A and B are shown apart, each in its own frame.
Chain A
Amino acid sequence: NAGVTQTPKFRILKIGQSMTLQCTQDMNHNYMYWYRQDPGMGLKLIYYSVGAGITDKGEVPNGYNVSRSTTEDFPLRLELAAPSQTSVYFCASSYSWGGGGNTIYFGEGSWLTVV
Protein backbone atom coordinates (compact mmCIF):
# COMPACT_ATOMS: atom_id res chain seq x y z
CA ASN A 1 0.00 0.00 0.00
CA ALA A 2 2.01 2.99 -1.28
CA GLY A 3 -0.52 5.71 -0.27
CA VAL A 4 -0.14 8.88 -2.35
CA THR A 5 2.76 9.01 -4.78
CA GLN A 6 3.69 12.21 -6.59
CA THR A 7 6.46 12.94 -9.04
CA PRO A 8 8.82 14.59 -9.71
CA LYS A 9 10.34 15.54 -6.33
CA PHE A 10 12.31 18.47 -7.74
CA ARG A 11 12.09 20.38 -11.00
CA ILE A 12 13.47 23.60 -12.41
CA LEU A 13 11.44 25.15 -15.21
CA LYS A 14 12.14 28.09 -17.45
CA ILE A 15 9.51 30.82 -17.79
CA GLY A 16 6.96 29.81 -20.41
CA GLN A 17 7.65 26.08 -20.23
CA SER A 18 4.92 23.61 -19.32
CA MET A 19 5.00 20.49 -17.21
CA THR A 20 2.80 17.96 -15.47
CA LEU A 21 3.02 16.89 -11.85
CA GLN A 22 1.87 13.32 -11.50
CA CYS A 23 -0.17 12.02 -8.56
CA THR A 24 -1.40 8.49 -7.91
CA GLN A 25 -3.17 6.96 -4.93
CA ASP A 26 -3.90 3.30 -4.30
CA MET A 27 -6.51 3.64 -1.55
CA ASN A 28 -9.54 3.93 -3.85
CA HIS A 29 -10.29 7.42 -2.50
CA ASN A 30 -12.83 9.50 -4.40
CA TYR A 31 -11.50 12.83 -3.10
CA MET A 32 -8.20 14.14 -4.37
CA TYR A 33 -6.60 17.57 -4.02
CA TRP A 34 -3.68 19.65 -5.20
CA TYR A 35 -2.25 22.22 -2.80
CA ARG A 36 0.60 24.66 -3.00
CA GLN A 37 2.67 25.70 0.00
CA ASP A 38 4.40 29.06 -0.01
CA PRO A 39 6.74 30.33 2.74
CA GLY A 40 4.84 31.68 5.75
CA MET A 41 1.46 30.73 4.29
CA GLY A 42 -0.93 27.90 4.94
CA LEU A 43 -1.53 25.38 2.18
CA LYS A 44 -3.78 26.73 -0.55
CA LEU A 45 -6.12 24.55 -2.61
CA ILE A 46 -5.44 24.70 -6.35
CA TYR A 47 -7.88 22.11 -7.72
CA TYR A 48 -9.82 19.21 -6.36
CA SER A 49 -11.74 16.19 -7.60
CA VAL A 50 -14.66 14.33 -6.06
CA GLY A 51 -14.39 11.34 -8.35
CA ALA A 52 -13.26 10.17 -11.75
CA GLY A 53 -14.34 12.65 -14.40
CA ILE A 54 -15.24 15.40 -11.91
CA THR A 55 -12.89 18.26 -11.08
CA ASP A 56 -13.32 21.81 -9.81
CA LYS A 57 -11.30 24.91 -9.01
CA GLY A 58 -9.99 25.67 -5.58
CA GLU A 59 -8.75 28.98 -4.20
CA VAL A 60 -5.77 29.53 -6.53
CA PRO A 61 -6.44 27.78 -9.88
CA ASN A 62 -5.01 30.33 -12.31
CA GLY A 63 -2.17 28.95 -14.44
CA TYR A 64 -3.03 25.32 -13.68
CA ASN A 65 -5.19 22.60 -15.08
CA VAL A 66 -6.17 19.09 -13.97
CA SER A 67 -7.84 15.95 -15.21
CA ARG A 68 -9.18 12.85 -13.48
CA SER A 69 -9.67 10.04 -15.94
CA THR A 70 -9.31 7.30 -13.31
CA THR A 71 -9.91 7.05 -9.57
CA GLU A 72 -6.17 6.56 -9.01
CA ASP A 73 -4.61 9.41 -11.00
CA PHE A 74 -4.92 13.18 -10.64
CA PRO A 75 -2.22 15.01 -12.64
CA LEU A 76 -1.66 18.76 -12.32
CA ARG A 77 -0.62 20.62 -15.46
CA LEU A 78 1.28 23.91 -15.35
CA GLU A 79 0.87 25.85 -18.57
CA LEU A 80 3.27 28.68 -19.43
CA ALA A 81 5.19 28.58 -16.16
CA ALA A 82 5.68 31.88 -14.33
CA PRO A 83 7.98 32.77 -11.39
CA SER A 84 4.86 33.12 -9.20
CA GLN A 85 4.39 29.36 -9.57
CA THR A 86 7.63 28.67 -7.72
CA SER A 87 6.34 26.71 -4.76
CA VAL A 88 6.05 23.32 -3.11
CA TYR A 89 3.14 21.29 -4.41
CA PHE A 90 1.32 18.59 -2.50
CA CYS A 91 -1.17 16.08 -3.77
CA ALA A 92 -3.57 14.60 -1.21
CA SER A 93 -6.46 12.18 -1.06
CA SER A 94 -9.17 11.23 1.41
CA TYR A 95 -12.13 8.91 1.79
CA SER A 96 -14.47 11.77 2.75
CA TRP A 97 -14.45 15.46 1.81
CA GLY A 98 -11.68 17.35 3.65
CA GLY A 99 -10.94 14.26 5.68
CA GLY A 100 -14.00 14.86 7.84
CA GLY A 101 -14.13 11.78 10.06
CA ASN A 102 -11.11 10.28 8.31
CA THR A 103 -7.43 10.74 7.61
CA ILE A 104 -6.07 12.86 4.80
CA TYR A 105 -3.10 11.32 3.02
CA PHE A 106 -0.46 13.55 1.45
CA GLY A 107 2.26 12.89 -1.05
CA GLU A 108 5.94 13.66 -0.44
CA GLY A 109 5.77 17.04 -2.16
CA SER A 110 7.19 18.45 -5.40
CA TRP A 111 9.62 21.38 -5.20
CA LEU A 112 9.21 23.50 -8.32
CA THR A 113 11.35 26.49 -9.24
CA VAL A 114 10.56 28.69 -12.24
CA VAL A 115 13.47 30.78 -13.49
Chain B
Amino acid sequence: KNEVEQSPQNLTAQEGEFITINCSYSVGISALHWLQQHPGGGIVSLFMLSSGKKKHGRLIATINIQEKHSSLHITASHPRDSAVYICAALISNFGNEKLTFGTGTRLTIIP
Protein backbone atom coordinates (compact mmCIF):
# COMPACT_ATOMS: atom_id res chain seq x y z
CA LYS B 1 0.00 0.00 0.00
CA ASN B 2 1.33 3.42 -0.97
CA GLU B 3 1.88 5.88 1.86
CA VAL B 4 0.05 8.44 -0.31
CA GLU B 5 -3.19 7.44 -1.98
CA GLN B 6 -5.22 9.53 -4.40
CA SER B 7 -8.82 9.13 -5.52
CA PRO B 8 -10.30 8.90 -7.98
CA GLN B 9 -7.68 7.69 -10.46
CA ASN B 10 -9.70 9.10 -13.35
CA LEU B 11 -12.43 11.71 -13.35
CA THR B 12 -14.52 12.96 -16.27
CA ALA B 13 -16.90 15.86 -15.77
CA GLN B 14 -18.89 18.42 -17.73
CA GLU B 15 -17.69 21.99 -18.02
CA GLY B 16 -18.91 24.02 -15.07
CA GLU B 17 -19.05 21.17 -12.58
CA PHE B 18 -17.47 21.35 -9.12
CA ILE B 19 -14.53 18.97 -8.92
CA THR B 20 -13.03 17.28 -5.86
CA ILE B 21 -9.83 15.24 -5.86
CA ASN B 22 -8.77 13.48 -2.67
CA CYS B 23 -5.42 12.60 -1.16
CA SER B 24 -4.92 10.42 1.92
CA TYR B 25 -1.70 9.60 3.69
CA SER B 26 -0.95 7.09 6.40
CA VAL B 27 1.80 8.69 8.47
CA GLY B 28 2.77 12.08 9.88
CA ILE B 29 3.68 14.79 7.41
CA SER B 30 5.16 18.26 7.60
CA ALA B 31 3.80 19.57 4.28
CA LEU B 32 1.65 18.53 1.35
CA HIS B 33 1.91 19.73 -2.24
CA TRP B 34 -0.68 19.74 -5.00
CA LEU B 35 0.83 19.64 -8.48
CA GLN B 36 -0.61 19.87 -12.00
CA GLN B 37 0.74 18.09 -15.06
CA HIS B 38 -0.66 18.77 -18.53
CA PRO B 39 -0.31 15.99 -21.16
CA GLY B 40 3.23 15.98 -22.51
CA GLY B 41 4.10 18.87 -20.27
CA GLY B 42 5.99 19.76 -17.18
CA ILE B 43 4.81 19.75 -13.58
CA VAL B 44 3.58 22.95 -11.98
CA SER B 45 3.11 23.51 -8.27
CA LEU B 46 -0.40 24.65 -7.35
CA PHE B 47 -0.30 24.70 -3.55
CA MET B 48 1.88 23.88 -0.58
CA LEU B 49 -0.12 23.24 2.62
CA SER B 50 0.82 22.46 6.17
CA SER B 51 -2.58 23.27 7.68
CA GLY B 52 -5.99 24.76 6.88
CA LYS B 53 -7.01 25.96 3.48
CA LYS B 54 -5.60 27.90 0.53
CA LYS B 55 -7.36 29.45 -2.45
CA HIS B 56 -6.03 30.62 -5.79
CA GLY B 57 -8.58 31.67 -8.38
CA ARG B 58 -10.96 28.74 -8.94
CA LEU B 59 -8.74 26.30 -7.06
CA ILE B 60 -9.07 25.54 -3.37
CA ALA B 61 -6.91 23.15 -1.37
CA THR B 62 -7.69 21.95 2.15
CA ILE B 63 -5.89 19.71 4.58
CA ASN B 64 -7.03 17.97 7.77
CA ILE B 65 -3.93 16.90 9.67
CA GLN B 66 -5.82 14.82 12.24
CA GLU B 67 -7.67 12.84 9.56
CA LYS B 68 -4.56 12.62 7.33
CA HIS B 69 -6.49 13.86 4.34
CA SER B 70 -6.30 16.66 1.79
CA SER B 71 -8.64 17.72 -0.99
CA LEU B 72 -8.23 19.80 -4.12
CA HIS B 73 -11.39 21.50 -5.36
CA ILE B 74 -11.97 23.17 -8.69
CA THR B 75 -14.99 25.44 -9.01
CA ALA B 76 -16.64 26.20 -12.38
CA SER B 77 -14.41 23.66 -14.15
CA HIS B 78 -13.19 24.42 -17.65
CA PRO B 79 -11.67 22.22 -20.38
CA ARG B 80 -8.28 23.87 -19.77
CA ASP B 81 -8.35 22.30 -16.28
CA SER B 82 -7.93 18.89 -17.96
CA ALA B 83 -4.66 17.55 -16.59
CA VAL B 84 -3.20 15.08 -14.13
CA TYR B 85 -3.28 16.33 -10.54
CA ILE B 86 -0.68 14.90 -8.19
CA CYS B 87 -0.41 15.19 -4.43
CA ALA B 88 2.96 14.83 -2.75
CA ALA B 89 3.42 14.51 1.01
CA LEU B 90 6.58 15.42 2.88
CA ILE B 91 6.61 12.44 5.21
CA SER B 92 8.47 12.57 8.53
CA ASN B 93 10.19 9.33 9.44
CA PHE B 94 12.63 9.02 12.36
CA GLY B 95 13.93 12.54 11.86
CA ASN B 96 14.20 12.20 8.09
CA GLU B 97 11.77 13.73 5.65
CA LYS B 98 10.88 12.09 2.36
CA LEU B 99 8.70 13.55 -0.39
CA THR B 100 6.29 10.79 -1.47
CA PHE B 101 4.11 11.21 -4.54
CA GLY B 102 0.65 9.88 -5.26
CA THR B 103 0.00 8.23 -8.62
CA GLY B 104 -2.12 11.14 -9.83
CA THR B 105 -5.74 11.80 -10.78
CA ARG B 106 -6.42 12.24 -14.49
CA LEU B 107 -9.12 14.91 -14.89
CA THR B 108 -10.97 15.42 -18.16
CA ILE B 109 -13.43 18.29 -18.51
CA ILE B 110 -15.83 17.97 -21.44
CA PRO B 111 -17.12 21.17 -23.05
Contact = CB atoms under 8 A, between A and B. Distances in A.
A41 B48 CA distance: 21
A99 B88 CA distance: 10
A103 B45 contact: yes
B86 A100 contact: no
B30 A42 contact: no
Contacts of B104: 42
Contacts of A109: 41-43
Nearest to B98: A98
Given A42-B2, A42-B4, A45-B99, A100 B30 contact: yes
B85 interface: no
Contacts of A106: 35, 42-45
B90 to A, nearest CB: 4
B43 A98 contact: no
A110 B108 CA distance: 24
A42 B31 contact: no
B42 A43 contact: no
B31 A100 contact: yes
Interface size class of B (residues with CB under 8 A): 20 to 34
A97 interface: yes
A42 B101 CA distance: 5
Contacts of A92: 43
A40 B9 CA distance: 10
Contact of B45 (A40, A41, A104, A107): A104
A45 B2 CA distance: 15
A107 B45 CA distance: 11
Nearest to A59: B98
Interface in B3-59: 4, 30-31, 33, 35, 41-45, 48, 50
Interface of B: 2, 4, 30-31, 33, 35, 41-45, 48, 50, 86, 88, 90, 97-104
13 contacts: A42-B88, A43-B88, A99-B33, A99-B45, A99-B48, A99-B90, A99-B99, A100-B31, A100-B90, A104-B45, A104-B99, A106-B42, A106-B44
